[in-house]
Structure 1
Amino acid sequence: MRTIMTESTTRNSTLQPGQFSAETLTNAPLGRIGTLEVRLANGSDEVASAQEIRYRVFHEELGARAQAAGLQDRRDADRFDDLCDHLLVIDNAIEGPVRHRIVGTYRLLRQDAALAAGGFYSSDEFEMEALVARHPTLQFLELGRSCVLPDYRSRRTIELLWQGIWAYVNRHGIGVMTGCASFFGTVPAAHAEALSFLAQNCRADGEWHVGAVPSRYHAMDLMPTEVVNARSALAAMPPLIKGYLRLGAKIGDGCVVDHDFGTTDVFIVLPVETISSRYINYYGADATRFAA
């Protein structure tokens, strides 16, 4: 999950991996706030536009490494894109074609599509298959490749994205949301207090335990509990991670350094049944309407 943002009874899908829903084909929104709306990408041209937004943020703004094809096309793309749904934030106040009005994106990989791809994107960093195997009755959704253009990095945009995600979760009967969330930089010790707080207070245990793959494991518990200040630790965290924690998410064991993206990644585990009722009530009314 590469993320750049600030502030912070359902029916199962019968779609095959890579297919678009009927709602997608008619550009049906999954949420609206003011001039902004969120919906799924409709076809390959809009997916390409989402990849261009990702390239602008991850590679041009933040300096992530790009493959040769990505440099030529100016797109951030990988083998998972064709099997994912792509959530788009669109500003309808901007004139011109849709591709000029896309200001943010979030990639959604459902469990059935991940199986078709040979695994989840996060499996290169965290032992996700073991987690999924322990919960055979639940449908997993991996969230990733999220970014928003600088002028739209606001609480309103984040809330709209979550409204869209919650509608999608209801539409497809998702039981667990997962993915990587990132600290900037490749030195875990630079985030010692925040990582230690997560390890000491937010770790996913028991049936929800998931660890970093052994070859890439870096310890997170870097400071004694008595010297970790909760307020300063939370202040040092990326807003998206704080947002996940507010929803009730837990964190995997160990972090992973991603040199291609220049980040230190932690793993998010968010069972839908554990989401705070006040957040369900907050997002639920609109999300239920858009999920139908």
Structure 2
Amino acid sequence: MQTVLSKRDAFPDASGVALAAQSFADEPLGRIGTLEVRLARHEDEIAAAQEVRYRVFYDELGAKHDTSLAPERRDADRFDAICDHLLVVDTALPGPEHKRIVGTYRLLRQERAVAAGGFYSEDEFELKNLVARHPGRRFLELGRSCVLAEYRSKRTIEVLWQGIWAYVNRHDIDVMAGCASFHGTVPAAHAEALSYLHHHCRTDGVWDVRAVPGRYSSMDLMPKEAISAKSAIVAMPPLIKGYLRLGARIGDGCVIDEDFGTVDVFVVLPVKEISSRYINYYGSEAQRFAA
């Protein structure tokens, strides 16, 4: 499967990014304490989100440096121009608002992906096939999730999900999907967690999705009876645990991303499968932002 856009593509001109964000209103999509979540509104805010991504992915987690990104210290690719950028802003910080961004999530709606030639994650997983099996449903790809180290708390995750839930309601999204990552490039280092996902959390039937041929690595690394559910879940990244709590399922196979130094799995979350208690929890605050 081929997509015309790749992970390592250069960042386009600034005007293309600005146009992608200007059609959205300025209001917040959620708020907890001093943390506010909303969409990026202009070029400076998208650039600031890219700087946050660079600090997390490259400086902290050791992604391989692309020489084209180094001078500006921004994690950027061509998908940024067609995505909406969800931002967590700490309103208590001093300085201009775009300097208060402490977390970000990149959101790619199906109609924009189709117009641009494909989804970001099609380089790793057969998302195109999954979408084709559901012609009446609207997909949203979530990716490039990161939060600065000092803000990695339950409160920040909750305000992000307030924003996502408001966005999903605003755009009538039926299915959320995207890659989530384990740190490092050796699946065996995450054998118990990956095996738990394989045995207990797999997509099936009409929702099944598989890693692309040539990049497929098995997640079936331990027999089912040898897995401790408790230790497997503890070993998972918080983002993956959060998805599972909401009712997400995991595709078949993982993919090693040598550039970002991760083992990626694919998450599928039909909105109708989200537990009602989480809809009530996030929706009680976020629903008023969704209109």
Q: Shorter-chain-normalised TM-score: which range? A: over 0.9
SS at match of 1:265: strand
Whichever residue aligns with residue 236 of structure 1, its letter is: A
User: Is the counterpart of residue 206 in structure 1 residue 205 in structure 2?
Assistant: yes
Structure with the larger RCO, 1 or 2 (CA within 8 Å, 6+ apart): 1
Would you say the 8 A contact 2:143–2:178 is kept in 1?
A: yes
Whichever residue aligns with residue 248 of structure 2, its letter is: A
Give the corresponding residue for 1:242: 241
Displacement of 1:69 in angstroms is 1.8
CA offsets 1:23-52 (integer angstroms, 9 cap, x no match): 1xxx21000000110000011111011001
Q: TM-score, normalization: structure 2?
A: 0.92
Give the corresponding residue for 2:123: 124
Q: Distance in 2 between matches of 1:20 and 1:114?
A: 18
Cα RMSD for the two superposed structures = 1.2
CA offsets 1:176-226 (integer angstroms, 9 cap, x no match): 000000000100011111000000000000000000001000000111111
Would you say the 8 A contact 2:218–2:253 is kept in 1?
A: yes
Displacement of 1:243 in angstroms is 0.6
Displacement of 1:99 in angstroms is 2.1
Give the corresponding residue for 1:160: 159
User: Is the counterpart of residue 58 in structure 1 residue 57 in structure 2?
Assistant: yes
Task: Give the alignment of 1:256-275 within 5 angstroms.
Answer: 256-275=255-274
Give the corresponding residue for 1:34: 33
Q: Distance in 1 between matches of 2:24 and 2:265?
A: 35
Displacement of 1:245 in angstroms is 0.4
Whichever residue aligns with residue 66 of structure 1, its letter is: H
Would you say the 8 A contact 2:24–2:41 is kept in 1?
A: no
SS at match of 2:71: helix
CA offsets 1:243-290 (integer angstroms, 9 cap, x no match): 100000000000000000000000000000000000000011222100
Task: Give the alignment of 1:1-292 within 5 angstroms.
Answer: 18=20, 20-23=22-25, 27-292=26-291
Whichever residue aligns with residue 277 of structure 1, its letter is: S
Would you say the 8 A contact 2:21–2:40 is kept in 1?
A: no
Would you say the 8 A contact 1:18–1:113 is kept in 2?
A: no
Displacement of 1:66 in angstroms is 2.6
Q: Distance in 2 between matches of 1:79 and 1:236?
A: 33
Would you say the 8 A contact 1:141–1:178 is kept in 2?
A: yes
Q: Distance in 2 between matches of 1:157 and 1:182?
A: 19
Q: TM-score, normalization: structure 1?
A: 0.92
Would you say the 8 A contact 2:87–2:103 is kept in 1?
A: yes
Moved over 6 A (4+): none
CA offsets 1:136-170 (integer angstroms, 9 cap, x no match): 11100000001111110000000000000000000
Would you say the 8 A contact 2:211–2:253 is kept in 1?
A: yes
Q: Distance in 2 between matches of 1:276 and 1:215?
A: 35
SS at match of 1:210: coil
Give the corresponding residue for 1:12: none
SS at match of 2:68: helix
Q: Distance in 1 between matches of 2:266 and 2:248?
A: 10
Displacement of 1:20 in angstroms is 3.3
Q: Unpaired segments of 5 or more residues in structure 2?
A: 1-6, 8-18
Would you say the 8 A contact 1:258–1:265 is kept in 2?
A: yes
Displacement of 1:19 in angstroms is 5.0
Displacement of 1:98 in angstroms is 1.1
Would you say the 8 A contact 1:66–1:76 is kept in 2?
A: no
Q: Distance in 1 between matches of 2:207 and 2:82?
A: 26
